[in-house]
Amino acid sequence: MNQWEGLDRRKFPRVNYPCLIVLRHDGEATGEVLLTHTENVGIGGVCVTLKKELRMFSPVELELDLLDLGNHVKCKGKVVWNIRRTSTSKNKPLFFDVGIEFDSLDKKEQQRLEEIVKRLASAGAQTPYT
């Protein structure tokens, strides 16, 4: 059994969709701003790659560029898991994969995201962990 088989309990399917993301953590407008990209995205949350670990259940503010020519999606979320990549990983060693669950995603933005996820899932972009 790999590490993910015991950890993956997602409510929503995720698709490989590398979007740009601005992440502000510590739950404040003055919190540290991290620029990164998504590993995958779903209507319930995202997985991002970071150079540092974020505390479990810590609040974050997200600004997600879905690369669909629409406005950036802005919402609040919380860290629900994080895993440090192994040093033997060829791609981005010693980085962290961090799972963030959306807390307050506007209904209109949720529908927009759902359309993208459905389109990509039907095209075969669904992650192997769903």
Segments forming the whole domain that contains residue 92:
3-122
| 93 falls within a domain | yes
Please state whether the predicted TM-score (pTM) of the whole model is above 0.75. yes
| 130 falls within a domain | no
Round to whole Å and give the CA distance between 118 and 82: 26
Q: Give 69-113 pLDDT, tens digit per residue.
A: 788 999 999 999 999 887 665 665 678 999 999 998 889 999 988
pLDDT at 11 over 90: no
pLDDT at 12: 62
pLDDT at 93: 61
Q: What is the CATH number of the domain that holds 35?
A: 2.40.10.220
- What domain count does the chain have? 1
87: left (phi over 0), alpha (psi -120 to 50) or beta: alpha
pLDDT band at 8 (very low <50, low <70, confident <90, very high): very low
| 116 falls within a domain | yes
User: What pairs with residue 75 in β-bridges?
Assistant: 62
| 90 falls within a domain | yes
| 128 falls within a domain | no
Round to whole Å and give the CA distance between 130 and 8: 8
Round to whole Å and give the CA distance between 128 and 64: 23
